[in-house]
Amino acid sequence: MTRVKRGRILPREAGAAPLEVVIGVMAFLAALALGGSLLADRAAQGWRAGLSGKLTVQVLPPEQGFPEPALTNETDAALRVLRATGGIVRAEALSQGETETLVEPWLGAGAVVADLPLPRLIDVTLLPGSRIDLAALRRMLHRAAPDSLLDDHSRWIVRLKTLADALVWSAYGILGLIALATASAVAFATRAGLQAHQEIVALLHQMGAQSGFVARAFERHYLVSALGAGAVGSAFAAALFVAAGGLEFAGIEPVAFLPPLTLHPAELAWLIAVPLGAGAIAWATARLSVLAALRRIY
Protein backbone atom coordinates (compact mmCIF):
# COMPACT_ATOMS: atom_id res chain seq x y z
CA MET A 1 0.00 0.00 0.00
CA THR A 2 1.72 3.19 -1.12
CA ARG A 3 -0.65 5.97 -0.10
CA VAL A 4 -3.92 6.59 1.64
CA LYS A 5 -4.09 10.39 1.45
CA ARG A 6 -6.98 11.55 -0.70
CA GLY A 7 -6.61 14.23 -3.36
CA ARG A 8 -8.83 17.30 -3.27
CA ILE A 9 -12.09 16.90 -5.14
CA LEU A 10 -11.76 20.45 -6.48
CA PRO A 11 -8.47 21.71 -7.90
CA ARG A 12 -6.85 24.72 -6.31
CA GLU A 13 -8.24 27.69 -8.20
CA ALA A 14 -5.66 29.84 -9.88
CA GLY A 15 -8.24 32.63 -10.22
CA ALA A 16 -9.30 32.74 -6.56
CA ALA A 17 -6.89 35.53 -5.56
CA PRO A 18 -9.18 38.44 -6.60
CA LEU A 19 -12.00 37.07 -4.44
CA GLU A 20 -9.64 36.73 -1.49
CA VAL A 21 -8.49 40.33 -1.99
CA VAL A 22 -12.14 41.50 -2.07
CA ILE A 23 -12.97 39.54 1.10
CA GLY A 24 -9.80 40.82 2.78
CA VAL A 25 -10.67 44.44 1.99
CA MET A 26 -14.29 43.89 3.09
CA ALA A 27 -13.07 42.34 6.34
CA PHE A 28 -10.74 45.29 6.90
CA LEU A 29 -13.62 47.74 6.45
CA ALA A 30 -15.94 45.60 8.58
CA ALA A 31 -13.35 45.45 11.36
CA LEU A 32 -12.93 49.24 11.21
CA ALA A 33 -16.72 49.67 11.41
CA LEU A 34 -16.96 47.18 14.28
CA GLY A 35 -14.08 48.83 16.13
CA GLY A 36 -15.63 52.24 15.48
CA SER A 37 -18.97 51.11 16.90
CA LEU A 38 -17.20 49.75 20.01
CA LEU A 39 -15.35 53.05 20.45
CA ALA A 40 -18.55 55.05 19.95
CA ASP A 41 -20.38 52.87 22.44
CA ARG A 42 -17.59 53.20 25.02
CA ALA A 43 -17.34 56.96 24.49
CA ALA A 44 -21.10 57.35 24.88
CA GLN A 45 -21.04 55.37 28.11
CA GLY A 46 -18.16 57.53 29.37
CA TRP A 47 -19.95 60.72 28.47
CA ARG A 48 -23.13 59.59 30.16
CA ALA A 49 -21.29 58.41 33.26
CA GLY A 50 -19.29 61.62 33.39
CA LEU A 51 -22.32 63.87 33.22
CA SER A 52 -25.10 61.92 34.85
CA GLY A 53 -23.61 62.04 38.35
CA LYS A 54 -22.89 65.74 38.16
CA LEU A 55 -24.64 69.10 38.47
CA THR A 56 -23.27 72.52 37.68
CA VAL A 57 -24.42 75.70 39.29
CA GLN A 58 -23.59 78.97 37.57
CA VAL A 59 -23.75 82.19 39.57
CA LEU A 60 -24.01 85.00 37.05
CA PRO A 61 -22.43 88.40 37.75
CA PRO A 62 -25.07 91.04 38.50
CA GLU A 63 -25.65 93.51 35.70
CA GLN A 64 -25.38 96.50 38.07
CA GLY A 65 -23.41 97.37 41.17
CA PHE A 66 -20.14 95.80 42.30
CA PRO A 67 -19.93 92.37 40.78
CA GLU A 68 -17.14 90.83 42.87
CA PRO A 69 -18.62 91.02 46.42
CA ALA A 70 -22.10 90.18 45.17
CA LEU A 71 -20.77 87.18 43.23
CA THR A 72 -18.86 85.90 46.23
CA ASN A 73 -21.87 86.32 48.52
CA GLU A 74 -24.22 84.54 46.14
CA THR A 75 -21.71 81.77 45.52
CA ASP A 76 -21.27 81.19 49.26
CA ALA A 77 -25.05 81.15 49.72
CA ALA A 78 -25.48 78.66 46.90
CA LEU A 79 -22.72 76.47 48.36
CA ARG A 80 -24.48 76.45 51.73
CA VAL A 81 -27.75 75.35 50.13
CA LEU A 82 -26.03 72.66 48.10
CA ARG A 83 -24.02 71.26 51.00
CA ALA A 84 -27.16 71.09 53.09
CA THR A 85 -29.02 69.11 50.43
CA GLY A 86 -29.23 65.34 50.85
CA GLY A 87 -27.73 63.25 48.05
CA ILE A 88 -24.93 65.73 47.30
CA VAL A 89 -21.51 64.47 48.34
CA ARG A 90 -19.44 67.38 47.11
CA ALA A 91 -19.99 70.98 46.06
CA GLU A 92 -16.94 73.09 45.27
CA ALA A 93 -16.68 76.44 43.56
CA LEU A 94 -14.14 76.65 40.77
CA SER A 95 -11.45 79.25 41.29
CA GLN A 96 -11.16 82.17 38.91
CA GLY A 97 -8.13 80.51 37.37
CA GLU A 98 -9.97 77.21 36.77
CA THR A 99 -12.86 79.05 35.14
CA GLU A 100 -10.50 80.97 32.89
CA THR A 101 -8.84 77.70 31.90
CA LEU A 102 -12.26 76.34 30.86
CA VAL A 103 -12.96 79.21 28.46
CA GLU A 104 -9.39 79.49 27.27
CA PRO A 105 -9.84 77.12 24.23
CA TRP A 106 -12.54 79.47 22.88
CA LEU A 107 -11.38 82.92 24.00
CA GLY A 108 -7.65 82.45 24.40
CA ALA A 109 -5.48 83.37 27.37
CA GLY A 110 -4.50 86.77 28.55
CA ALA A 111 -5.92 90.05 29.64
CA VAL A 112 -9.16 89.76 27.62
CA VAL A 113 -10.38 86.82 29.69
CA ALA A 114 -9.36 88.47 32.94
CA ASP A 115 -11.49 91.52 32.06
CA LEU A 116 -14.60 89.53 31.17
CA PRO A 117 -17.43 89.19 33.72
CA LEU A 118 -17.21 85.43 34.03
CA PRO A 119 -19.80 83.56 36.11
CA ARG A 120 -18.75 81.54 39.15
CA LEU A 121 -19.11 77.83 38.59
CA ILE A 122 -19.89 75.31 41.28
CA ASP A 123 -19.10 71.69 40.51
CA VAL A 124 -21.55 69.39 42.28
CA THR A 125 -21.06 65.63 42.66
CA LEU A 126 -24.06 63.50 43.50
CA LEU A 127 -24.20 60.35 45.56
CA PRO A 128 -24.42 57.48 43.03
CA GLY A 129 -28.05 56.41 42.60
CA SER A 130 -29.45 59.34 44.56
CA ARG A 131 -32.61 61.01 43.32
CA ILE A 132 -32.68 64.73 43.94
CA ASP A 133 -35.75 66.94 43.53
CA LEU A 134 -34.19 69.33 41.06
CA ALA A 135 -37.20 71.68 40.98
CA ALA A 136 -37.10 72.12 44.78
CA LEU A 137 -33.31 72.58 44.71
CA ARG A 138 -33.66 75.15 41.92
CA ARG A 139 -36.24 77.08 44.03
CA MET A 140 -34.02 77.03 47.14
CA LEU A 141 -31.00 78.17 45.12
CA HIS A 142 -33.01 80.98 43.57
CA ARG A 143 -34.08 82.17 47.01
CA ALA A 144 -30.50 82.07 48.38
CA ALA A 145 -28.73 83.25 45.23
CA PRO A 146 -31.13 84.94 42.78
CA ASP A 147 -28.52 85.05 39.97
CA SER A 148 -27.80 81.30 40.09
CA LEU A 149 -28.65 78.77 37.39
CA LEU A 150 -28.79 75.02 37.97
CA ASP A 151 -27.73 72.82 35.07
CA ASP A 152 -28.32 69.06 35.37
CA HIS A 153 -26.73 68.40 31.90
CA SER A 154 -29.83 66.52 30.77
CA ARG A 155 -29.85 68.46 27.50
CA TRP A 156 -26.26 67.36 26.79
CA ILE A 157 -26.83 63.81 27.93
CA VAL A 158 -29.77 63.42 25.56
CA ARG A 159 -27.80 64.94 22.69
CA LEU A 160 -24.73 62.84 23.38
CA LYS A 161 -26.83 59.72 23.67
CA THR A 162 -28.50 60.50 20.36
CA LEU A 163 -25.11 61.16 18.75
CA ALA A 164 -23.54 58.01 20.18
CA ASP A 165 -26.54 55.88 19.22
CA ALA A 166 -26.41 57.32 15.70
CA LEU A 167 -22.69 56.45 15.48
CA VAL A 168 -23.24 52.93 16.78
CA TRP A 169 -26.18 52.25 14.47
CA SER A 170 -24.31 53.76 11.51
CA ALA A 171 -21.47 51.35 12.23
CA TYR A 172 -23.95 48.47 12.35
CA GLY A 173 -25.45 49.65 9.06
CA ILE A 174 -21.99 49.75 7.45
CA LEU A 175 -21.32 46.27 8.84
CA GLY A 176 -24.59 45.05 7.30
CA LEU A 177 -23.77 46.56 3.92
CA ILE A 178 -20.29 45.05 3.98
CA ALA A 179 -21.75 41.65 4.89
CA LEU A 180 -24.19 41.97 1.98
CA ALA A 181 -21.41 42.96 -0.42
CA THR A 182 -19.23 40.08 0.82
CA ALA A 183 -22.08 37.60 0.41
CA SER A 184 -22.73 38.88 -3.12
CA ALA A 185 -19.05 38.65 -4.05
CA VAL A 186 -18.79 35.13 -2.67
CA ALA A 187 -22.03 34.08 -4.40
CA PHE A 188 -20.75 35.49 -7.68
CA ALA A 189 -17.39 33.75 -7.26
CA THR A 190 -19.08 30.49 -6.31
CA ARG A 191 -21.24 30.56 -9.41
CA ALA A 192 -18.16 31.34 -11.50
CA GLY A 193 -16.39 28.46 -9.76
CA LEU A 194 -19.30 26.16 -10.49
CA GLN A 195 -19.19 27.24 -14.13
CA ALA A 196 -15.44 26.62 -14.26
CA HIS A 197 -15.83 23.23 -12.60
CA GLN A 198 -19.02 22.30 -14.38
CA GLU A 199 -17.49 19.12 -15.79
CA ILE A 200 -16.31 18.00 -12.37
CA VAL A 201 -19.70 18.73 -10.82
CA ALA A 202 -21.48 16.92 -13.67
CA LEU A 203 -19.15 13.91 -13.36
CA LEU A 204 -19.57 13.68 -9.58
CA HIS A 205 -23.32 14.01 -10.01
CA GLN A 206 -23.28 11.30 -12.68
CA MET A 207 -21.26 8.99 -10.45
CA GLY A 208 -23.90 9.26 -7.76
CA ALA A 209 -22.42 11.89 -5.47
CA GLN A 210 -24.95 13.27 -3.02
CA SER A 211 -25.59 16.99 -3.40
CA GLY A 212 -24.12 17.50 0.07
CA PHE A 213 -20.84 15.86 -1.00
CA VAL A 214 -20.42 18.25 -3.95
CA ALA A 215 -21.55 21.22 -1.85
CA ARG A 216 -19.04 20.33 0.86
CA ALA A 217 -16.18 20.43 -1.63
CA PHE A 218 -17.15 23.99 -2.60
CA GLU A 219 -18.12 25.31 0.82
CA ARG A 220 -14.88 24.08 2.38
CA HIS A 221 -12.90 25.82 -0.33
CA TYR A 222 -14.69 29.16 0.12
CA LEU A 223 -14.76 28.85 3.91
CA VAL A 224 -10.97 28.47 4.04
CA SER A 225 -10.45 31.32 1.55
CA ALA A 226 -12.78 33.67 3.45
CA LEU A 227 -11.35 32.77 6.86
CA GLY A 228 -7.80 33.42 5.65
CA ALA A 229 -8.59 36.63 3.79
CA GLY A 230 -10.87 37.83 6.60
CA ALA A 231 -8.15 37.20 9.18
CA VAL A 232 -5.63 39.23 7.19
CA GLY A 233 -8.09 42.14 6.71
CA SER A 234 -9.10 42.08 10.36
CA ALA A 235 -5.45 41.92 11.47
CA PHE A 236 -4.69 45.06 9.44
CA ALA A 237 -7.58 46.88 11.12
CA ALA A 238 -6.45 45.67 14.55
CA ALA A 239 -2.94 46.90 13.78
CA LEU A 240 -4.40 50.29 12.89
CA PHE A 241 -6.22 50.52 16.22
CA VAL A 242 -3.09 49.42 18.08
CA ALA A 243 -1.04 52.02 16.19
CA ALA A 244 -3.59 54.72 17.14
CA GLY A 245 -3.20 53.60 20.75
CA GLY A 246 0.57 53.86 20.40
CA LEU A 247 0.27 57.43 19.12
CA GLU A 248 -1.98 58.35 22.03
CA PHE A 249 0.45 56.70 24.42
CA ALA A 250 3.20 58.84 22.92
CA GLY A 251 1.07 61.91 23.56
CA ILE A 252 0.07 62.45 19.93
CA GLU A 253 -3.66 62.91 19.47
CA PRO A 254 -4.58 61.40 16.06
CA VAL A 255 -7.91 63.25 15.83
CA ALA A 256 -8.49 66.21 18.12
CA PHE A 257 -11.81 66.51 20.04
CA LEU A 258 -12.62 62.81 19.47
CA PRO A 259 -12.45 60.19 22.19
CA PRO A 260 -9.38 57.88 22.24
CA LEU A 261 -9.12 55.55 19.24
CA THR A 262 -7.47 52.78 21.25
CA LEU A 263 -9.36 49.50 21.56
CA HIS A 264 -8.94 47.62 24.80
CA PRO A 265 -7.74 43.99 24.53
CA ALA A 266 -11.28 42.72 25.17
CA GLU A 267 -12.58 44.98 22.41
CA LEU A 268 -9.80 43.90 20.05
CA ALA A 269 -10.91 40.31 20.65
CA TRP A 270 -14.26 41.24 19.08
CA LEU A 271 -12.45 41.74 15.77
CA ILE A 272 -12.00 37.95 15.61
CA ALA A 273 -15.72 37.89 14.84
CA VAL A 274 -15.04 39.51 11.46
CA PRO A 275 -13.15 36.61 9.78
CA LEU A 276 -15.55 34.16 11.46
CA GLY A 277 -18.48 36.12 10.04
CA ALA A 278 -16.84 36.29 6.60
CA GLY A 279 -16.23 32.54 6.73
CA ALA A 280 -19.83 31.86 7.74
CA ILE A 281 -21.17 34.04 4.93
CA ALA A 282 -18.87 32.39 2.39
CA TRP A 283 -19.76 28.93 3.65
CA ALA A 284 -23.51 29.51 3.57
CA THR A 285 -23.48 31.30 0.22
CA ALA A 286 -21.34 28.64 -1.41
CA ARG A 287 -23.52 25.85 -0.05
CA LEU A 288 -26.79 27.45 -1.14
CA SER A 289 -25.41 28.33 -4.59
CA VAL A 290 -24.11 24.82 -5.21
CA LEU A 291 -27.27 23.11 -3.97
CA ALA A 292 -29.42 25.41 -6.14
CA ALA A 293 -27.23 24.64 -9.18
CA LEU A 294 -27.40 20.89 -8.53
CA ARG A 295 -31.18 20.98 -8.24
CA ARG A 296 -31.29 22.20 -11.84
CA ILE A 297 -29.38 19.12 -13.06
CA TYR A 298 -31.47 15.97 -13.79
Partner 1 sequence: MLRFENVGMRYGSGPEVLREVTFTLDPGSFTFLTGASGAGKTTLLRLMIMANPPTSGLITLFGHALATASRSAFPALRRRIGVVFQDFRLLDHLSAFDNVALPLRLAGRRPAAYAHDVEELLGWVGLGDRLHSRPHTLSGGEQQRVAIARAVVGRPDLLVADEPTGNVDAEIGQRLIRLFGELNRLGTTVLIATHDRSLIERGRAREMRLVDGRLVELRAAKP
> Would you tell me which residues interact with partner 1 (CB under 8 A)?
1-8, 10-12, 199-200, 203-211, 213, 298
Spatial contact of 182 and 23, defined as CB atoms under 8 Å apart: yes
| Residue nearer to partner 1 on the CB measure, 6 or 155 | 6
In the complex with partner 1, the residue whose CB is nearer, 257 or 298, is 298
Can you say how many angstroms the Cα of residue 131 is from the centroid of all Cα atoms in its chain?
30
Instruction: Give the integer Cα–Cα distance in Å for 225 and 230.
Output: 8
Q: Min. distance of Cβ 205 from partner 1 in angstroms?
A: 8
Q: How far apart are CA 52 and CA 42, in angstroms?
A: 15
In the complex with partner 1, the residue whose CB is nearer, 4 or 135, is 4
Minimum distance of partner 1 from residue 297's CB (angstroms)? 9
* CA separation for the pair 284, 225 (Å, rounded): 13
Instruction: Pick the closer one to partner 1 by CB: 52 or 206.
Output: 206
Which CB sits closer to partner 1, 54 or 220?
A: 220
Instruction: Compare residues 131 and 295 and give the one whose CB is closer to partner 1.
Output: 295
- In angstroms, what is the minimal distance from the CB of 21 to partner 1? 23
CB of 17 to partner 1, least distance (A): 18
Residue 294 C-beta: closest distance to partner 1, Å: 10
Shortest CB 203 distance to partner 1, Å: 5
Q: Which is nearer to partner 1, 6 or 131 (CB)?
A: 6
Phi-psi region of 47 (alpha: psi -120 to 50; beta: other; left: phi over 0): alpha
Q: How far is the CB of 193 from partner 1 (least distance, A)?
A: 14
**Shortest distance (Å) from residue 2 CB to partner 1:** 6
C-alpha 189/C-alpha 22 separation (Å) is 11
Task: Classify residue 183 as left (phi > 0), alpha (psi -120 to 50) or beta.
Answer: alpha
Beta carbon nearer to partner 1, 172 or 213: 213
Amino acid at residue number 9:
I
